[in-house]
């Protein structure tokens, strides 16, 4: 395996974005002969690693929050570039060579499976090339070349730890430090590196261990004999993890996240914090990583709650839409506006699809139930519309038949010249037409045109006749107005007989003149009636004056009054002689009244005389 496949240079690692933290696996195998126990240990580690990756994949498919939570336990030693720890054993050369070859092949195959499973669990990982590197190693079971470990430049003489014995290092290949899958800092603070180194140690055989809480873990091997130089890359890896957590914390302060981003962030935390192969205060790292996981989960829960609210609003909106369609279908067919309703039903499916694209998706049972209601409403609407228009066609046919009968009767009378009765007959037909049921607009319009044409033919002829009659009547009016002037000049008081004779002549000519316009008829008739009343009154007065019976009655009344007056005069004389004032007053009043009556009678006698 080449150096580029094992680790990234510091400048390239620093350029990696925080959200591109990936599970990059680089296999490092030891060429030292190993015992069967060491082979079993490596296989168990790979099996545990593969099992954890499969669990993460299943959890992620089960749900975003569940996948993140199931991936938290750090069951296998994985952090960025994975390295195999080889146990230093001393066996015979022949047995060692055979065991080393078997171990290399089995470990490479297991690493390839673990890498593939890890890639499936995190589809968004950007470090597929690193995983591919692990797969390539598994496909070629040759012993990989040793990977050189970066060394700091010597700074003069310094104390050196006791060097491992040649026997301990015989036949061993150096194991590279496990670098974190995190962006490497461009520069590291020497003080921070020194503080991190305090948690690590290097054994005489090159085994590197770290104080992880209450336990000591083996995290790799090295051929570097200088203690500080051996721990240098492991301490820098620790600082890279610190930088990774800083970047994760910074990412969590963003105002908005998608759920996929938060799930990917949790997955990266899980991968990077699985027993990290670094030297430093690992419990502090885990505590901070746990806090960040809780922050991410809290954001996920907030997104879930917001999504639940959105789904509830979407459900309410869809339900209201379905209810509006159902209310439309429940409308009385006679009251519904079929044009508008048809347009609403045509837009039903596009509106539903638009709501699907705009709103948060509903759960399948709810959406299916609403769609079934919507589909049932549409089917009911189609049946109702079909039934309504079928009945409407029947009513239209009946209306058309009734109106055809009315049209036939109207056309039969259109040439009549019997104006009065025909006008009344047409008025009756018109009332029947209004009471007839409505037909289709097109048919109704056509039938109305025929009916009205028959009416128009009759009334046009009638109006033409009326125009001729009106012209004739205006001439008659002129004649009658001249007769009125002649009649109003008569004076029955002077010569009653002459006035009566002239009036009879005027009346005869009046009848011969004929009809006048209706608007002038009453006016001229009233004037003629006034002349006739004046002549009649004069005739009555003359008759009363010359009536013998009236004259005899007047003379008799006059004679009686003369006798009565003579009698009352005697009574008055007696009353005066008696000196009774009351009798005198009564006699005087009675005498005066008879004298007045006598004066009236005498005037009448003179009028009659």
pLDDT per position as a tens digit, 236-248: 999 999 999 999 9
Half-sphere exposure of 279 (CA within 13 A, CB side): 29
What confidence score (pLDDT) does residue 18 get? 34
- Does residue 78 carry a pLDDT above 80? no
What confidence score (pLDDT) does residue 159 get? 39
- Does residue 263 carry a pLDDT above 70? yes
Q: 133 versus 591: which is more confidently predicted?
A: 591
The contacts of residue 437 (CB under 8 Å, 6+ apart) are: 395, 398, 399, 402
pLDDT per position as a tens digit, 48-73: 333 333 343 333 333 333 333 333 33
- Does residue 77 carry a pLDDT above 70? no
What confidence score (pLDDT) does residue 295 get? 93
Q: Are 296 and 261 in contact (CB under 8 A)?
A: no
Q: What Rg do the C-alpha atoms of the chain give, in angstroms? A: 66
DSSP helix/strand/coil, 202: strand
Cα 179 from Cα 279, distance rounded (Å):
11
- Does residue 360 carry a pLDDT above 70? yes
- Does residue 122 carry a pLDDT above 50? no
What confidence score (pLDDT) does residue 98 get? 36
What confidence score (pLDDT) does residue 172 get? 41
DSSP helix/strand/coil, 210: strand
What confidence score (pLDDT) does residue 161 get? 40
**CA 32 to chain CA mean position, Å:** 74
Residues in the chain: 609
**To the nearest whole number, what is the mean pLDDT of the chain?**
72
168 burial via Cβ count (<10 Å: 0-12, 13-18, 19+): middle
Q: What band does 450 get if pLDDT is binned at 50, 70 and 90?
A: very high
pLDDT above 90 covers a percentage of the chain that reads 37
Q: Name the residue among 16, 85, 6, 5 with its Cα closest to residue 44.
A: 85
**Token pair recorded at residue 465:** 């006749």
pTM of the predicted model, to two decimals?
0.40
Cα 365 from Cα 503, distance rounded (Å):
107
What confidence score (pLDDT) does residue 292 get? 94
Q: What band does 343 get if pLDDT is binned at 50, 70 and 90?
A: very high
- Does residue 543 carry a pLDDT above 70? yes
pLDDT per position as a tens digit, 398-438: 999 999 999 999 999 999 989 889 999 999 999 999 999 88
269-281: average pLDDT: 91
DSSP codes of every residue in 64-133: HHHHHHHT-S--S-BSSS--PPPPP----HHHHHHHHHHHHHHHHHHHHHHHHHHHHH-TT-S-HHHHHH
What confidence score (pLDDT) does residue 592 get? 83
Q: Name the residue among 85, 68, 78 with its Cα closest to residue 24.
A: 78
End-to-end CA distance of the chain: 172
Q: What band does 605 get if pLDDT is binned at 50, 70 and 90?
A: low
19-25: average pLDDT: 34
What confidence score (pLDDT) does residue 492 get? 83
pLDDT per position as a tens digit, 464-482: 888 888 888 889 999 998 9
124-135: average pLDDT: 33
Q: What band does 291 get if pLDDT is binned at 50, 70 and 90?
A: very high
What confidence score (pLDDT) does residue 373 get? 95
What confidence score (pLDDT) does residue 126 get? 36
Least confident of 36-45, 232-241, 504-513, 533-542: 36-45
Cα 405 from Cα 458, distance rounded (Å):
18
- Does residue 165 carry a pLDDT above 90? no
Cα 594 from Cα 590, distance rounded (Å):
6
What confidence score (pLDDT) does residue 255 get? 85
Q: How far is CA 443 from CA 396, 433, 448, in A?
A: 9, 14, 8
For helices 348-358 and 338-346, give the axis angle rounded to 10 degrees. 40
- Domain spans, the chain: 3-151+165-306, 307-391, 392-545, 548-608
Buried b (16+ CB within 10 A) or exposed e, 369-397: ebeebbeebeeebeebbeeeeeebeeebe
Cα 168 from Cα 89, distance rounded (Å):
8
pLDDT above 70 covers a percentage of the chain that reads 67
What confidence score (pLDDT) does residue 142 get? 35
What confidence score (pLDDT) does residue 546 get? 67
């Amino acid at each position: 395996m080449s150096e580029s496949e094992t680790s990234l240079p510091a400048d390239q690692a620093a350029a990696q974005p925080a959200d591109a933290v990936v599970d990059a696996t680089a296999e490092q195998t030891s060429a030292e002969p190993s015992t069967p126990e060491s082979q079993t240990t490596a296989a168990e580690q790979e099996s545990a690693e593969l099992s954890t990756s499969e669990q993460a994949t299943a959890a992620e498919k089960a749900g975003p929050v569940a996948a993140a939570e199931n991936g938290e336990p750090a069951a296998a030693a994985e952090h960025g570039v994975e390295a195999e720890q080889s146990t230093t054993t001393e066996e015979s050369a022949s047995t060692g060579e055979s065991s080393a070859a078997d171990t290399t092949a089995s470990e490479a195959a297991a690493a390839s499976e673990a890498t593939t499973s890890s890639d499936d669990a995190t589809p968004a990982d950007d470090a597929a090339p690193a995983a591919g590197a692990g797969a390539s190693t598994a496909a070629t079971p040759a012993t990989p070349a040793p990977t050189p470990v970066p060394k700091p430049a010597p700074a003069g003489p310094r104390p050196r730890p006791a060097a491992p014995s040649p026997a301990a290092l015989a036949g061993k290949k150096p194991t590279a430090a496990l670098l974190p899958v995190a962006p490497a800092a461009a520069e590291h603070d020497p003080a921070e590196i020194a503080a991190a180194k305090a948690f690590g140690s290097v054994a005489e055989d090159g085994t590197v261990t770290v104080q992880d809480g209450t336990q000591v873990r083996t995290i790799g091997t090295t051929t570097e004999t200088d203690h500080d130089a051996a721990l240098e890359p492991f301490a820098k890896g620790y600082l890279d993890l610190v930088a990774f957590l800083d970047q994760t914390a910074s990412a969590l302060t963003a105002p908005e996240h998608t759920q996929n981003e938060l799930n990917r962030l949790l997955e990266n935390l899980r991968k990077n914090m699985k027993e990290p192969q670094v030297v430093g205060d690992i419990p502090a790292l885990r505590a901070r990583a746990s806090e960040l996981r809780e922050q991410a989960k809290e954001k996920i829960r907030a997104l879930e709650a917001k999504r639940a609210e959105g789904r509830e609003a979407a459900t309410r909106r869809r339900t209201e839409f379905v209810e509006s369609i159902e209310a439309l279908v429940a409308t009385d067919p006679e009251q519904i506006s079929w044009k508008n309703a048809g347009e609403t039903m045509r837009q039903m499916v596009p509106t539903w699809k638009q709501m699907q694209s705009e709103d948060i998706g509903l759960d399948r049972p709810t959406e299916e139930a609403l769609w079934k209601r919507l589909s049932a409403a549409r089917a009911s609407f189609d049946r109702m519309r079909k039934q309504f228009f079928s009945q409407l066609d029947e009513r239209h046919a009946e209306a058309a038949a009734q109106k055809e009968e009315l049209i036939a009767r109207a056309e039969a009378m259109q040439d009549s010249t019997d104006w009065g009765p025909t006008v009344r007959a047409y008025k009756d037909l018109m009332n029947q037409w209004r009471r007839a049921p409505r037909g289709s607009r097109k048919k109704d319009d056509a039938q109305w045109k025929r009916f009205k044409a028959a009416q128009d033919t009759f009334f046009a002829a009638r109006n033409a006749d009326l125009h001729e009659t009106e012209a004739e009547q205006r001439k008659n009016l002129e004649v009658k107005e001249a007769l009125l002037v002649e009649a109003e000049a008569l004076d029955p008081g002077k010569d009653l007989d002459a006035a009566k004779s002239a009036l009879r002549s005027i009346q005869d000519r009046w009848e011969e003149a004929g009809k006048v316009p209706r608007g002038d008829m009453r006016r001229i008739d009233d004037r003629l009636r006034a002349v006739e009343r004046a002549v009649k009154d004069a005739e009555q007065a003359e008759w009363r004056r010359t009536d013998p019976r009236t004259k005899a009655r007047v003379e008799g009344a006059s004679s009686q009054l003369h006798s009565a007056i003579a009698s009352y005069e005697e009574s008055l004389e007696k009353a005066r002689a008696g000196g009774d004032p009351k009798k005198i007053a009564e006699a005087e009043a009675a005498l005066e009244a008879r004298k007045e009556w006598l004066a009236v009678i005498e005037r009448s006698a003179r009028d009659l005389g």
